[in-house]
Amino acid sequence: MNCEDLIAVILEYLEGSMTPEDVEAFEAHLQKCPPCRAYLATYRKTKAMAAEAGRVEMPDEMKARLREFILRRAGAGP
């Protein structure tokens, strides 16, 4: 795998949709290529920021209801 290959599959890597063999090749390249490590770090940060920006805050009432619902389910048991 070279730098171009790595960049082409970076999204699959982050989403965990690569085969174990590809992950191995990907990580082997990262080990010996600092620029690709930097690229991956930047890519990850950008993706996290985008996810953060798109996040909708859950209202307190919703949180309380969800908690109650989960507790009730947990209490009921299998």
Q: Does the footprint of Zn ion cover residue 28 (CB under 5 A)?
A: no
Q: Does the footprint of Zn ion cover residue 33 (CB under 5 A)?
A: yes
Q: Which residues of 53-77 are buried (b: 16+ CB within 10 A; e: fewer)?
A: eeeeeeeeeeeeeeeeeeeeeeeee
* Binding piece for Zn ion, criterion CB under 5 A, among 11-19, 28-36, 47-55, 64-72: 28-36
Nearest approach, Cβ of 38 to Zn ion (angstroms)? 10
Interface with Zn ion (CB under 5 A): 3, 33, 36
